[in-house]
Amino acid sequence: MKLPVVLFGLLQLGIIVGCLMLGVTRAGRVRLWLGVCGLLLGALFTLMVWTYRGYLTDAAPALFFGLPAPTAWFLYGLWPAEFLVVLLYVLLFRRSIVTPADMQRFREIVAARRAATGQSDRPA
């Protein structure tokens, strides 16, 4: 496994976490926690790729809970860790991404736009 493969995977994780950070209106703890989750995902991805490299050269690969080590890193580490990012995003959505003030402003804009075009509030 060559270094560009690992760097490309880490770049993809960085883009995903970075895009999630762009939506956070309040800087600070939320961005910090998203960054920590991104570092955790990057470390788990690197371990998965590193053990896969050893798995390719080893005649008798080590098993972890009945799975080869790279697969175990993915299923028991990387896959559940992704849900930490989702859980953090969902739990903090109303406080840090779309606040009640943002929703009120959005409703005002929609109402003004409908009034200007003569549309009703009822769906078609």
Helix axes 29-57, 79-91, angle to 10 degrees: 170
Instruction: Specify the pLDDT at position 121.
Output: 62
User: Could you give the percent of the chain with pLDDT greater than 90?
Assistant: 9
| Stretch (H or E) spanning 68 | strand 67-68
Question: In the chain, where are the structural domains located?
Answer: 3-117
For the stretch 41-77, pLDDT in tens is 889 888 888 888 777 776 777 777 888 878 888 888 8
Q: Of 27 and 33, which is predicted with more confidence?
A: 33
Q: Which strand (E) or helix (H) includes residue 63?
A: strand 63-64
State the amino acid at position 21 in one-letter form.
M
Task: Quote the pTM value.
Answer: 0.67
**Least confidently predicted of 17-21, 64-68, 81-85, 92-96:** 92-96
